[in-house]
Amino acid sequence: MDIAPPVTGEWTVAQQFSLWIRKADIAETTRATRQHIWRAHVAEKWGDLQVTKVLPPDIKAWVADLVDAKTGVPTIENALGWGSRTGDPPFGLYRAAVG
């Protein structure tokens, strides 16, 4: 699936998530979980940021904050994981975290 942004430098993480969640071939329960995780853990921190500005050290610090806040491993994996399944991995949070 090709969901690359039309204008790379201006495309935000929120736009990427919005496009992915609409096009993802996933069960409705999975979709609901991903949307909840997005709203609860990702949107405020990363939503307005341009995807080209998502840097590995920032993602790693955010994950450390989630761990310190006692966020469960499955939640952290879900928060990071959607980006690795977008069809355009360079724009995912996971890809940014692992370089």
Q: Whole-prediction pTM value?
A: 0.74
Chain segment 85-99, per-residue pLDDT in tens? 544 443 456 555 555
Chain segment 27-71, per-residue pLDDT in tens? 999 889 989 999 999 999 999 998 888 888 888 899 899 999 999
Question: What's the number of domains the chain is made of?
Answer: 1
Q: Report yes or no on 87 lying in a domain.
A: yes
For residue 18, the enclosing domain spans 9-98
Q: Report yes or no on 1 lying in a domain.
A: no
State how far the Cα of 70 lies from the Cα of 91, in Å rounded to an integer. Answer: 26
Alpha helices per DSSP H over the chain:
13-23, 28-37, 43-46, 56-68, 73-84, 93-98
